[in-house]
Amino acid sequence: MAGEKTVETTGLLGWIDRRFPLTSTYKAHLSEYYAPKNFNFWYFFGSLALLVLVIQIVTGIFLVMNYKPDAKLAFLSVEYIMREVPWGWLIRYMHSTGASMFFVVVYLHMLRGLFYGSYRKPRELVWVFGVAIFLCLMGEAFFGYLLPWGQMSYWGAQVIVNLFSAIPYIGPELSIWIRGDYVVSDATLNRFFAFHVIAIPLVLLGLVVAHIVALHEVGSNNPDGVEIKQGPKDRNGHPLDGIPFHPYYTVHDIMGVAGFLLVFAAIIFFGPEMGGYFLESNNFIPADSLKTPPHIAPVWYFTPFYSMLRATTSDFTWVLSAGAIIAAIALFLKGGLRGFWRILVPVILIIIAILMKTLDAKFWGVVDMGGSVVILFFLPWLDRSPVKSIRYRPTWHKFLYALFIVTFLVLGFIGTKPPNPTYNIISQIGTVIYLGFFLLMPVWSRLGTFKPVPERVVFHAH
């Protein structure tokens, strides 16, 4: 940077710096990484996600020291950890609570990105890496859910793996390949253990590094959606609307960490089961392949998508088919898509609408469940709004976001309950709202009167 002096480090640190970019990395990502000065509490959740990842890795290492990935011994080894290993109960509860808190933090982190347009140019790749991390977390949680070898984990894995059998032509063989057997068995437990402990964590760590590097390359977004790198700079080339991440935001995040740890500790010591949402009572019963629980449901963080799966019946495919055609027409006429994409996207939706009645409803349920996550990858290109932040969008946009959030929470609640006709109708309405929110985003995100975006960030000291 102009006007800056390069100070060469000496001693041990200098010796390391001549062989490894320690000081330059510290400067690039902490002391000389300038972040917008108007961050609010929504920006706690990125660092909290990193904290929970560390907690999960450390507690997981200690659990593996005493866990036996064997169908005959898995449940007993978990009981041994809980009852005999010194502080084993604490480590196990930290890990089980950490899994749920990971999704709480990640959902809030993604919601902040949705509010402030953190997926918009030039941060498309940051968002794509983030959604890939979310998918890895879902896989990690699913594979880890079987390991206690309790009734709910066993039958939950059986139900989820059986969903793959709905895929035309290759489904049944694919299900057997995933399980390694015709039913969930010792072979399934061993391969799920390998994925949970080694394979997915390696991919997850790589994606986290890529996510952070990509973020620091383009700079952080802020509640105003103003690019501070393009704004006025001081004589050293630093943005006037930015402040060094360290020490300002490290102290800022420490406050968030303190609050989070208070909640985390309260759950661990006073309510680790959280009324059955974090740890189901059926999972304290050894897995029995001859006795099916009366109601099988996944853990709470999967239930919104599970509700969409259950909602997709033969009759409901007519509604989805009609919705796909309406979305195709709306995108073609008012979606703001250009060139090749203006034709391709509506054609794909119309083909899906035609195929909707030719394939089994169970398959389309799996497509709805998977598609509701995969569609997040395309959010940077679905949002056609002229502004990034919700602060400068029309008021009715905020009501749409509120409707989306309420719908997601309702779907999550219904997914934990036994199915009944009333819940099924609500789930179907919720599925239409969820999918319509994203599929019609190129249309509604462009409508309304937008407020002028300030040239510099709006900051009030607090």
Domain residue ranges of the chain, discontinuous segments joined by +: 32-276, 300-444
Collapsing DSSP to helix, strand or coil, 86 comes out as: coil
Q: Which CATH architecture has domain 32-276?
A: Up-down Bundle (1.20)
Q: CA 373 to CA 306: how far, in whole Å?
A: 12
**Are 242 and 36 in contact, with CB atoms under 8 Å apart?**
yes
- DSSP type of residue 313: -
Q: Mind listing the pLDDT tens digit for each residue in 82-139?
A: 999 999 999 999 999 999 999 999 999 999 999 999 999 999 999 999 999 999 999 9
Residue 6: per-residue pLDDT = 54
According to DSSP, the residues that pair with 244 across neighbouring strands are 34
Q: Mind listing the pLDDT tens digit for each residue in 346-377?
A: 899 899 888 887 888 888 999 999 999 999 99
Backbone angles phi, psi at 254, to 5 degrees: -60, -35
**pTM to 2 decimals?**
0.93
Residue 341: per-residue pLDDT = 80
**Fold: same for 32-276 and 300-444:** yes
Collapsing DSSP to helix, strand or coil, 301 comes out as: helix
Q: Mind listing the pLDDT tens digit for each residue in 134-171?
A: 999 999 999 999 999 999 999 989 988 988 888 888 88
Which superfamily, per CATH, for 300-444?
Cytochrome Bc1 Complex; Chain C (1.20.810.10)
Structure tokens, 48: 């909290």
**What residues are designated binding site for a ubiquinone?**
216
Mean pLDDT of 58-64: 97
**What residues are designated binding site for heme b?**
95, 109, 196, 211
Q: Mind listing the pLDDT tens digit for each residue in 300-350?
A: 999 999 999 999 998 898 999 999 999 999 988 887 778 788 888 889 989
Q: Quote helix, strand, coil % in the chain, to nearest 5.
A: 70, 0, 30
**What residues are designated binding site?**
95, 109, 196, 211, 216
Residue 358: per-residue pLDDT = 80
Residue 27: per-residue pLDDT = 85
Measure Cα distances from 417 to 286, 373, 423 in Å. Answer: 22, 22, 8
**Considering the chain, what is the average pLDDT of its residues?**
91
CB contact burial 411-443 (16+ within 10 A = b; e otherwise) = bbebbbeeeeeebbebbbebbbbbbbbbbbbbb
Q: CA 85 to CA 74: how far, in whole Å?
A: 15
The count of residues in the chain is: 462
User: Residue 382: which of 433, 345, 422, 408 has the closest Cα?
Assistant: 345
